[in-house]
Structure 1
Amino acid sequence: MTWGVKGVKGYPTGAPQDACGAMLPYHGPQGDDQLYPSQTGPAPYTIQVASHHGTYLPGKAMNVTLIGNVAFKGFLLQARVTKGNTQVGTWSIPSAISAHARHVACGCHDGAVTHRNNTDKRALTFMWNAPPVGTGDVKFV
């Protein structure tokens, strides 16, 4: 299992479904959206995965935490197969952080999580529900 971080400029109420594929936001005047590239500096947060020896158990849930090196406002988080961009697994948002996060329909209704507001965040822990047997290696982006 591997994980990586892509930085983005985010919408104040969360990433739109259009951002699912490239994991990049679109901003601009109404009807004239512009793609923004990934940030070039260090990511404002890290992804910590509570796994058993670096693996996941198919069909089981595990904690995935975003931890800010500094306060961060926006994020888009999903799990993908390492050999490609296919979204895998689903996400649960604990009620304790539901005021700060929401689902994005990337691949399925709860295929990704994003911010719900533009308040400062330091750490958010989600439950990732692993895919079935045969999915292969997974990365968090």
Structure 2
Amino acid sequence: MKLLILVLLSVIVLCYCYPEGAPSCKLNVPSHEKTKAKSGKAPYNIVVTTPKTQTNGEKTVTVTISGIGSKTFKGFHMTARVPNSSATIGKFTPSDNAKILQCNPSSNAITHKDNEDKESISFSWSAPKKYKGKVEFRATIVKEYKEFYTNVKSSQVVIN
């Protein structure tokens, strides 16, 4: 009987977490039972390279999420935004361990493909054509089922 209860509880837990990444662009907080985001400074950094102009004229940056002091994480959901705005901007390029979530025709978000421990992950982001201004990257980062951090931000980057 105890084994049956354990199996049923395991199935219920699997139904509410997203081991293969967030299901949509708008769902940026995990549905982990009644668990709330941890408060205080997250033990993770989001580092963005200086923008580079590609041969096609696109401005791109490399974005890296990493743990402070070898802290690992299992998942993430990230968007690029104009500072002090809720509107998403630009497009991420998927990597081996990350996939794209379409937000609208002109922007997307990026999330994890699996729930394996990660020390860091990097991917590219491209600004909209003719965009000039600041952008910041915001993420929810999941350490484990009952430990996650929301609204983790990069430094603002200027796109000229």
TM-score, normalisation: structure 2: 0.62
User: Where do 4+ consecutive residues of structure 1 move more than 6 Å?
Assistant: none
Mark the runs of 5 or more structure 2 residues left unpaired by the alignment: 1-15, 139-160
Q: Which has the higher strand share?
A: 2
Q: After the TM superposition, which residues 1-141 of structure 1 pair with which residues of structure 2 at under 5 Å, given as runs?
A: 11-17=18-24, 20-21=25-26, 23-27=28-32, 37-52=36-51, 59-69=58-68, 70-94=71-95, 98=96, 100-108=97-105, 111-134=108-131, 136-141=133-138
Spell out, residue by residue over 1:24-59, the C-alpha distance to the aligned partner (whole angstroms, 9 max, x if none).
Answer: 23355xxxxx7x64321432421000015xxx7683
The answer (yes or no) to whether the contact 2:62–2:122 under 8 Å persists in 1 is yes
Distance in 2 of aligned mates of 1:65 and 1:101: 12
Q: 1:111 to 1:135 in 2, by over 3 A?
A: farther
Spell out, residue by residue over 1:57-89, the C-alpha distance to the aligned partner (whole angstroms, 9 max, x if none).
Answer: 683111111112201001011101113111101
Q: Which has the higher helix share?
A: 2
Higher RCO, 1 vs 2 (CA within 8 Å, ≥6 residues apart): 1
Q: 1:38 to 1:16 in 2, by over 3 A?
A: same
Considering only CA atoms, is the larger Rg found in Structure 1 or Structure 2? 2
Identical aligned pairs, as a percentage?
35
Report the count of equivalent residues: 118
The answer (yes or no) to whether the contact 2:101–2:108 under 8 Å persists in 1 is yes
Q: 1:108 to 1:47 in 2, by over 3 A?
A: farther
Mark the runs of 5 or more structure 1 residues left unpaired by the alignment: 1-8, 29-33
The answer (yes or no) to whether the contact 1:90–1:129 under 8 Å persists in 2 is yes
Distance in 2 of aligned mates of 1:37 and 1:107: 28
CA RMSD of superposed structures (Å): 2.8
Spell out, residue by residue over 1:78-101, the C-alpha distance to the aligned partner (whole angstroms, 9 max, x if none).
Answer: 10111311110101123xxx1x21
